[in-house]
Amino acid sequence: MPRIKRWIEKLEVESQPGLTNTQLMLTNHDLRPVDPDRRLWRWYNFVTFWIADSLNINTWMISSSMIVDGLSWWQAWLCVWFGYFLAACFVCLTGRIGAVYHISFPVVCRSSFGVWGSLWPVLNRTVMAIIWYGVQGYIGGQCITLMIRAIWPSYENLPNGIPEISGVDTKNFLSFFLFWLLSLPALWFPVHQLRHLFTVKSIYSPIAAIAFFAWAIARANGLGPIVNQSHTVHGSTLAWAVVKSLMSCMGNFAALIMNDPDFSRFARKPKDALWAQLFTIPIGFGITSFIGIIASSSSSVIFGGEPIWNPLDLLGRFLQGASSAERFGIFIIALGFALAQLGTNISANSVSAGTDMTALLPRYLNIRRGSYICAAIGLAMCPWNLVSDSNQFTTYLSAYSIFLSAIAGVMICDYYVNRKGYLVVSDLYTASKDSVYRFEYGFSWQAYAAYLSGIMINIVGFVGQVGREVPIGATYVYNINYVSGFVVSAAMYFILTRIFPTKATSDTWNEVNYDLDINSEGHDIEEEIHATGKPVGFETSTSQSSPPSEYKTAKAGTAGV
C-alpha cells in the first residue's frame, strides 16, 4: 500500500504547498487566472485564430447543405453571413468573461452553477469534445489518404486485412492513425504558444483553398451552374429553410461559444478579444463558404451529375487520370486541408477537453495531460462508426446543441444581467461556507432549474427528429433549437434570481479587473492591477451577505472594452 500511495503521489500535478484536499479539487496552475506573463494573444492572434478555424471541411459542407435544402447560392451565402455574425455575438459575450478575468470556461461556470454544480456542464462538454476529436481526426485521415495517393497511386488499392464487421478497412485506418500520430506533438505546447500554429494555418490553408477554388473554376470554364439557379422552395418552406440554415451556423458554433474563454483568457486586454472576433468570424466563415459553394457546384460541369459537396471527394475525382504536376497540386491542397483539420481539432476539441478534464480532476490532470487523454480515447472510440450513419450522427449533434444552448443561456444571463460583470474571483476556487458561489452545498438550484427548462422546450421536437410523430408546433420550436434553448434558460434564470436572489450581485455595471495569487499557506490574495480608488461594489447589491474581510479593502477597477 505505501508503494501504491507513492506512485499515486507521483501522478499529482505541481501545486502550491499547503493547500487542503478541497482546494486541490478546485485549483491548479492551468485553472487559475492567467498571469500577465502568459497574456500574449493580441488582436491579430484572434484574427488568425478564426481565419484558421473557418477553413475546415465541416464549414465547407454546411453551406452546401443549404443549397440542397432548396436555397439559391446567394440566399445560402446571406444565411452564412448572418448566421455566423449571430454566432460571433455569442462568442464575444462568453469570451469577454475570460478576457476580463482571465479564467477558463470551467471556472466561469462555477459563478452560475456553483463550485460543485459546474461539474455536470463541464463533463457534458468534455464528452462531446472527445467525440468530436475522434470524428475530426478521422476526417483528417481522409486528407492523409489523398496526400499519399497523390504520391503513390497504388495506395488506393492497399490490401485490406481488417474484418468487414469492424466498419473500416486497412487504408482508412492507417491514414487515420497517421493523422492521429502526427497530431500528438501539437498537444504538447501550452495554449498561449499555440497562436503560432494558427498563424501558420491562416496563411497556408487559405492559399490551398483559393488554389482549389481557381482550379475548379478553370476546369469548369466558369463559375458553375449554381450561380444561374434560383431557389427551389417558396413561401413558408423557404422561410423555414432559411431558419434551418441559420441554426446550422449556430449549431456549428455551439461548442465554440462555450470554448472561447479558454482562449480569450490569454488576451492582452479585453478589446483584443472583442472586435477581432466579432468581424473575423462572419468574414472568415463567409469566404470559406463561398469557396465551398462555387468549387463544389463546378463539379457538376466537370464530371456531370449532381454536385460533389464534400471537398475531399471532389479532390479525389481530380486524382483520376491526373498528371504528375496535377498530383503535386493535389498533394499541396490536401496538405492544406489536413493542416486545417489539425488546427480545428486543437482549438475546438483537444484544448477544450484538456481544460475541462483539468477542472474535473485538478489534482492529477492539467491541460496537456487532458489533451493526450482526449487523443487516446478519440483513437479507441472507433470514430468511423459514427460517421458511417450520417443521419444518426446529425441528430446526435442537434441534441448536443440543445444542452449547450441551455448552459450558455444561464451563464450569459448570470454575468451580464444578474451580476452585471461583477465576480469575486477568489471565491471561485473555494468551497468554504462563506464562498458566494457555494449556493446550496455547492449547487445553484436556480441555474439547474433554468438549464432543464432550456432543454425541455426542445425535447418534444427532438423526439420528432428520431421518427416519432409530434405536434407541428414542437417541430417549429425545435427548428430554432439553439435560440429557443438559450432564450428559455436565460429567461427562467432571470425570473428565479429575482424571486430568490443570489449573493455577490451588483445594481450597476461593475467589472473588477484584478489578479489572483495563492500564497504558500493556501490563502487567497487579491492584487489589483487597474485601481481607480473606488471601493468594491458590495454595497451596491441588494442581495448579498457581508463579504469576507479580505474583500473589504479591495478596490474596483474598470476593465475597459
Taking only the tens place, the pLDDT of each residue in 64-80 is 778 877 888 889 899 99
Q: What is the mean pLDDT of residues 438-455?
A: 96
* Predicted confidence (pLDDT) at residue 531 exceeds the cutoff of 70: no
Q: How confident is the model at residue 540 (pLDDT cuts 50, 70, 90)?
A: very low
Q: What is the mean pLDDT of residues 227-249?
A: 84
Percent of the chain with pLDDT over 90: 53
Q: Report the distance separating Cα 293 and Cα 71, nearest Å.
A: 12
The grid coordinates of residue 403 equal 444542452
Q: Report the distance separating Cα 164 and Cα 181, nearest Å.
A: 24
407 or 255, greater pLDDT: 407
pTM: 0.86
In our burial notation (b when 16+ CB lie closer than 10 A, e otherwise), range 191-208 reads bbebbebbbebbebbbeb
Q: What is the mean pLDDT of residues 210-226?
A: 85
- What value, to the nearest 5°, has the Cα angle with vertex 250 and ends 247 and 254? 130
* Predicted confidence (pLDDT) at residue 119 exceeds the cutoff of 50: yes
Cβ atoms 24, 318 nearer than 8 A: no
> What pLDDT shows up at residue 397?
62
* Eight-class DSSP state of 267: B
Q: Report the distance separating Cα 274 and Cα 277, nearest Å.
A: 6
Q: Report the distance separating Cα 320 and Cα 313, nearest Å.
A: 11
Q: What is the mean pLDDT of residues 317-341?
A: 92
Q: What is the mean pLDDT of residues 84-110?
A: 96
Nearest to 100 by CA among 477, 489, 486, 529: 529
Cβ atoms 556, 534 nearer than 8 A: yes
Residues 271-320 pLDDT 10s: 999 999 999 999 999 999 998 888 888 888 888 877 888 889 999 999 98
452 or 551, greater pLDDT: 452
Least confident of 149-153, 350-354, 469-473: 469-473
Q: Report the distance separating Cα 536 and Cα 513, nearest Å.
A: 11
Helices (H), ranges, 69-194: 73-101, 105-113, 119-151, 170-183
Q: What is the mean pLDDT of residues 55-59?
A: 83
264 or 57, greater pLDDT: 264
> What pLDDT shows up at residue 73?
83
Q: How confident is the model at residue 388 (pLDDT cuts 50, 70, 90)?
A: low
Average pLDDT over all residues of the chain: 85
Q: Report the distance separating Cα 499 and Cα 479, nearest Å.
A: 31
Cβ atoms 465, 394 nearer than 8 A: no
Q: How confident is the model at residue 112 (pLDDT cuts 50, 70, 90)?
A: very high
* Predicted confidence (pLDDT) at residue 1 exceeds the cutoff of 80: no
Q: Which residues, in sequence order, are CB contacts of 466 under 8 Å at separation 6+?
A: 395
Q: Report the distance separating Cα 301 and Cα 217, nearest Å.
A: 10
Q: What is the mean pLDDT of residues 229-244?
A: 84
Q: Report the distance separating Cα 363 and Cα 9, nearest Å.
A: 10
> What pLDDT shows up at residue 80?
93
Q: How confident is the model at residue 11 (pLDDT cuts 50, 70, 90)?
A: confident
Percent of the chain with pLDDT over 70: 88
Residues 245-268 pLDDT 10s: 898 888 888 889 998 999 999 999
> What pLDDT shows up at residue 509?
93
> What pLDDT shows up at residue 539?
33
Least confident of 22-31, 57-66, 124-133, 285-294: 57-66
Q: Report the distance separating Cα 340 and Cα 137, nearest Å.
A: 11
409 or 17, greater pLDDT: 409
Most confident option among 239-243, 287-291, 445-449: 445-449
> What pLDDT shows up at residue 335?
95
Q: What is the mean pLDDT of residues 207-232?
A: 83
Strand, helix or coil at 270?
helix
* Predicted confidence (pLDDT) at residue 541 exceeds the cutoff of 90: no
